[in-house]
Structure 1
Amino acid sequence: MRLPWQTFLDQVGERGDYPTPHEAERAARTVLALLGAHLVGDVRAALAARLPETFAVVLLNPLQAAEPLSPERFVRATAAWIEGATEQTAAWDVSAVLSTVADAAGEELTSRMLLQLPPGYDVLFGRPHSV
């Protein structure tokens, strides 16, 4: 079931404690674009089917990654794409978005996503040791 746009954005905004919906949307777009470069096949398609349509398009048209990024490099890449971000604020952004994504995906799909990602992403998804 596709999560409604406003519900997804509200959850990201609440978890990220963003002052405006625009900031929550910017974080979501950046993190999902980076995540989309790391997921393939039916896992990426299944996740896209559960996200609001606008964010599904971002996930399905990802930024290009030459290699899988470790969780630390994923956070640094997020910081590089968000103007004025630091690694600390980017870690907050990643956690707010990916924990919302994990809730939208459900446990089974989240486990399948984590199998496609380098070790350590479980913490970013708010699911330590779920694989």
Structure 2
Amino acid sequence: MTVTTPQPRTTIPTPSHATSLRPRVKDVTEDAGWRELTEAVREAGQYPTRTEADHVTRTVLSALGGHVTGEERVALAQALPLEAGRLIASQVPEAEPLAAREFVESVATRIEGSTPATARWDVSTVLSVLSDHVGEPLTTRVLSQLPPGYALLFGRADLAAAA
């Protein structure tokens, strides 16, 4: 008859509260959604690299985040990939949204080497892709919060009567 001697434990059990101390592992689907969005921007805007498309997308979404408020802001953030939603939701709402032209000019100041013409291209590219991604009803709701002129930036005809 063979007698086995108990062996010491080779692993130390982790207390249940320690799991919250571990670094968060990136969710692959969350990264995929962001990559898909920036790839659509890269293709639509004909940007040479994903890095450039990523930068332009972040800049435009951050600028937009300050101009959309209330339920539309929440719905927009939820309809986008997690990273894009964070960019929208993390901005402090502006007291008054900028006119479309001023919005484009503000984006131009955030992108190195940008001109009003290139900023308009960047803004139109990102917002058109955004509109395609979130759909017609939500785009209409977002546009209802913004001053006239933004529809063109979202790739839509601006049917508002000139004042």
TM-score of the pair, normalised by structure 2: 0.75
Distance 2:92 2:46 in 1: 26
Point out the structure with the larger helix share: 1
Match of 1:92 among 106, 121, 142: 121
Question: Corresponding residue for 1:103?
Answer: 132
Question: Corresponding residue for 1:24?
Answer: 53
Q: Do structure 1's residue 121 and structure 2's residue 153 form an aligned pair?
A: no
Shift of 1:66: 4.6
Shift of 1:105: 1.3
Could you list the runs of 5+ residues in structure 1 that have no partner in the other structure? none
Question: Corresponding residue for 2:104?
Answer: 75
RMSD: 1.8
CA contact (8 A) 1:34 1:63 kept: no
Q: Deviations over 1:12-33 (max 9, x none)?
A: 0011111111111111111111
Q: Do structure 1's residue 54 and structure 2's residue 68 form an aligned pair?
A: no
State the 4+ residue runs in structure 1 displaced beyond 6 angstroms.
Answer: none
Q: Deviations over 1:49-90 (max 9, x none)?
A: 121111111110126635311110011000001111111110
Secondary structure of the structure 1 residue equivalent to 2:135: helix
Match of 1:5 among 31, 34, 39: 34
Equivalent pairs counted in the alignment come to: 130
Q: Do structure 1's residue 45 and structure 2's residue 70 form an aligned pair?
A: no
Question: What letter matches 1:121 in structure 2?
Answer: Y
TM-score of the pair, normalised by structure 1: 0.92
Question: Corresponding residue for 2:94?
Answer: 65
CA contact (8 A) 2:68 2:93 kept: no
Higher-Rg member (1/2) = 2
Could you list the runs of 5+ residues in structure 2 that have no partner in the other structure? 1-29
